[in-house]
Amino acid sequence: MSFLEYAPAPESTALLNLQSEYGLFINGEFTAGSDPTFSTISPATEKHIATIASASTGDVDAAVAAARAAYDSTWSRLSGRDRGKYLFRIARLVQERARELAVAESLDNGKPIKESRDVDVPLVAAWFFYYAGWADKLDHAGLGANPRALGVAAQVIPWNFPLLMLAWKIAPALAAGNTVVLKPAETTPLTALLFAEIVQQAGLPAGVVNIITGAGATGRALVNHPDVNKVAFTGSTSVGREIARSLAGTPKKLTLELGGKGANIVFDDAPIDQAVEGIVRGIFFNQGHVCCAGSRLLVQENIHDEVVERLKVRMATLRVGDPLDKNTDVGAINSAEQLQRIRELSDIGDAEGAERWSPACELPSDGFWFAPTIFTNVATSSRIARDEIFGPVLSILTFRTPAEAIAKANNTPYGLSAGIWSDKGSKILAVADKLRAGVIWANTFNQFDPASPFGGYKESGYGREGGKQGLTAYLAPAAKATAAARIAPAVKAVSAAKAKSASAAKGGKK
Ligand code: NAD
């Protein structure tokens, strides 16, 4: 079978106005970091993009101090309505600079421009618009009247959706009245630094948002800083576990969004072509660098061969290559380390007796690449059925009955996402009810909406991001007024009214 050949359609980088060097964004200004700088590169070409500052513990202290001062002096005193105005302004600036942000994201992360342009950046704007609307309605967040902000939030994010994860963290935190210090991942700092420019453009009071760059040590110093009130972490389960341990016994509030090994369950009554699209979207979207990826396909045994056959035909049409080309479906792997991990786990799959298949595709010679891959004949006990590969690799298993599908889907230490494909609504609801996953898609996959809470069970973490639930992670219930405190204003009001009527009566006599 031959396919149409596409002419290259590269998105221009001319609209980028990048600095050669970026400092830390602390107290509204860019300042040099104290630790040695590092380089951020394009994973598609391995070419240097910019030199990035690395925050020392002293720099972390300065960023937290700036956030604390901004919280005490301005942000905690603003009305929700005024905080909302700043968030609306940020959302509009994201829209205005959307094309530039999408190009920078694809350059730094390696994801296809059609994803950063049509998914990541529009969702970033949507997240800020959504939480802007909440800022003056916190009394309706389910925590009683006048819930309080927590104070300074320390936020650490991964490299797979750099700007989107930033929005998931910063938008609810600011709406709820907290100030933030955020650390992006060391391989993808670029769009967070462009976001710092947007914060300046939006005229946000200095110190409300601080962005510090650096590697794991910077993240560790930030989450362990004694003056932060809230820690929000998205990343690997191993680092999440370390953070949970180090925060245990402190008053800091913690939310963890960690790894996953999502089951995508296809029943024999599903529309197969539609399911194949969902399988592709579930595992090859963003090169499979997705915590909630549908990385385990559970397909009913009697349709296994047909599904695999059609999936192979569909996979042969995927265009792997230059992330900035508008035709590209699968871009570059984010880093050499991640590529190494994907290769290692896939080799384990071979060694364990699973059958590997990839479509014929030419991979560029420079940069980090891995062809879209499926494994069939995968045993439930296999490492590739259990470990998060975090790459474009799908493990295919079979089942015979709904009960077996549920048991296999839940047979994982994770519990982040799942998908169900069936023509029968009642079957979808019955199965969904028994799956231990924070988000379950029915006849679709990898759909995100700011109004919909997202988060995990078990080793996928705890807490929810998105929706009203995402606000509660940044709010403390209003302190209960004591009986005396509740009565005092009423007594005062009555005596003031009495005094007023007495003086009016006196005046009347004059
Ligand atoms: P990672 O845990 O290695 O790094 C995540 C972030 O934590 C980075 O900014 C890193 O610098 C920082 N960090 C590293 N060590 C730290 C420490 N000891 N203390 C504090 N911060 C530290 O993860 P990664 O490889 O960048 O990201 C991939 C992982 O993220 C995957 O497991 C994926 O499933 C998960 N993820 C989860 C979600 C979710 O919402 N559940 C979303 C995206 C990614």
Mean pLDDT within 461-476: 96
User: Which two three-digit tokens encode residue 491?
Assistant: 């007594």
Query: Would the CB of 151 count as within 6 Å of ligand 1?
Result: no
Residue 348 has pLDDT above 70, yes or no: yes
Task: Give nearest CA residue, ligand 1 atom 30.
Answer: 235
Whether residue 105 lies in the annotated active site: no
Query: Would the CB of 239 count as within 6 Å of ligand 1?
Result: yes
Q: How confident is the model at residue 483 (pLDDT cuts 50, 70, 90)?
A: very low
Query: Would the CB of 158 count as within 6 Å of ligand 1?
Result: yes
Rounded CA separation 264/275 (Å): 9
Rounded CA separation 284/287 (Å): 5
Mean pLDDT within 254-263: 97
Give residue 217's pLDDT.
Answer: 98
Give residue 4's pLDDT.
Answer: 65
Q: How far apart, in Å, are the Cα atoms of 167 and each of 174, 195, 208, 457?
A: 10, 10, 15, 22
Tell me the residue ranges of DSSP E strands in 32-126.
35-41, 48-54
Q: How confident is the model at residue 142 (pLDDT cuts 50, 70, 90)?
A: confident
| CA of 176 relative to ligand 1 center, distance in Å | 24
Give residue 126's pLDDT.
Answer: 98
Pairing mode of beta strands 355-357, 373-376: antiparallel
- Alpha-carbon Rg for the chain, nearest whole angstrom, is 25
Residue 292 has pLDDT above 70, yes or no: yes
Percent of the chain with pLDDT over 70: 93
Query: Would the CB of 258 count as within 6 Å of ligand 1?
Result: yes
Whether residue 404 lies in the annotated active site: no
Q: How confident is the model at residue 6 (pLDDT cuts 50, 70, 90)?
A: confident
Mean pLDDT for the chain overall: 94
- Look at the block and give the residue holding tokens 């949507």: 126
Q: How confident is the model at residue 219 (pLDDT cuts 50, 70, 90)?
A: very high
User: Which two three-digit tokens encode residue 156?
Assistant: 């650490």
Q: Which of 11, 186, 291, 459 is catalytic?
A: 291
pLDDT, tens digit, 9 for 90 and up, residues 164-192: 999 999 999 999 999 999 999 999 999 99
| CA of 216 relative to ligand 1 center, distance in Å | 9
Query: Would the CB of 164 count as within 6 Å of ligand 1?
Result: no
Residue 128 has pLDDT above 90, yes or no: yes
Task: Give nearest CA residue, ligand 1 atom 26.
Answer: 158
Task: Give nearest CA residue, ligand 1 atom 16.
Answer: 216
Residue 481 has pLDDT above 70, yes or no: no
The dihedral built from the CA positions of residue 498, 499, 502 and 503, taken in this order, carries a sign that is: negative
Task: Give nearest CA residue, ligand 1 atom 14.
Answer: 216
Query: Would the CB of 215 count as within 6 Å of ligand 1?
Result: yes
Strand partners, 299: 266, 398
327 burial (CB, 10 Å; 0-12 / 13-18 / 19+) is middle
Task: Give nearest CA residue, ligand 1 atom 9.
Answer: 185
- Name which of 158, 174, 149, 343 is nearest 237 in CA terms: 158
Residue 500 has pLDDT above 60, yes or no: no
Give residue 504's pLDDT.
Answer: 46
Choose which residue among 108, 156, 193, 222 to substitute to test ligand 1 binding: the one with the highest number of ligand atoms within 8 A of its C-beta.
156
Q: In what order do the strands lie in the sheet with 35-41?
A: 21-22, 48-54, 35-41
Strand partners, 503: none
Q: How confident is the model at residue 3 (pLDDT cuts 50, 70, 90)?
A: low
Q: How confident is the model at residue 478 (pLDDT cuts 50, 70, 90)?
A: confident
| CA of 415 relative to ligand 1 center, distance in Å | 17
Give residue 8's pLDDT.
Answer: 92
Strand partners, 40: 50
Query: Would the CB of 89 count as within 6 Å of ligand 1?
Result: no
Please, are residues 323 and 110 in contact by the beta-carbon 8 Å criterion?
yes
Q: How confident is the model at residue 389 (pLDDT cuts 50, 70, 90)?
A: very high
User: Which two three-digit tokens encode residue 106?
Assistant: 């694809």
> In this structure, which amino acid lies at residue 444?
T
pLDDT, tens digit, 9 for 90 and up, residues 266-285: 999 999 999 999 999 999 99
| CA of 9 relative to ligand 1 center, distance in Å | 33
Choose which residue among 109, 182, 212, 239 to substitute to test ligand 1 binding: the one with the highest number of ligand atoms within 8 A of its C-beta.
239
Query: Would the CB of 293 count as within 6 Å of ligand 1?
Result: no
pLDDT, tens digit, 9 for 90 and up, residues 400-454: 999 999 999 999 999 999 999 999 999 999 999 999 999 999 999 999 999 999 9
- Name which of 52, 3, 48 is nearest 313 in CA terms: 3
| CA of 234 relative to ligand 1 center, distance in Å | 5
Higher-confidence residue: 503 or 230?
230
Rounded CA separation 213/110 (Å): 19
Q: Is the pTM of this model over 0.85?
A: yes
| CA of 164 relative to ligand 1 center, distance in Å | 14
Residue 263 has pLDDT above 90, yes or no: yes
Rounded CA separation 184/471 (Å): 21
Percent of the chain with pLDDT over 90: 91
Q: Which of 11, 115, 186, 257 is catalytic?
A: 257
- Name which of 193, 171, 20 is nearest 100 in CA terms: 193
Residue 486 has pLDDT above 50, yes or no: no
- Look at the block and give the residue holding tokens 């078990």: 458
What is the DSSP track for 470-502?
HHHTTEEPPPPPPHHHHHHHHHHHHHHHHHHHH
| CA of 362 relative to ligand 1 center, distance in Å | 30
Please, are residues 465 and 453 in contact by the beta-carbon 8 Å criterion?
yes
Q: How confident is the model at residue 373 (pLDDT cuts 50, 70, 90)?
A: very high
Query: Would the CB of 160 count as within 6 Å of ligand 1?
Result: yes
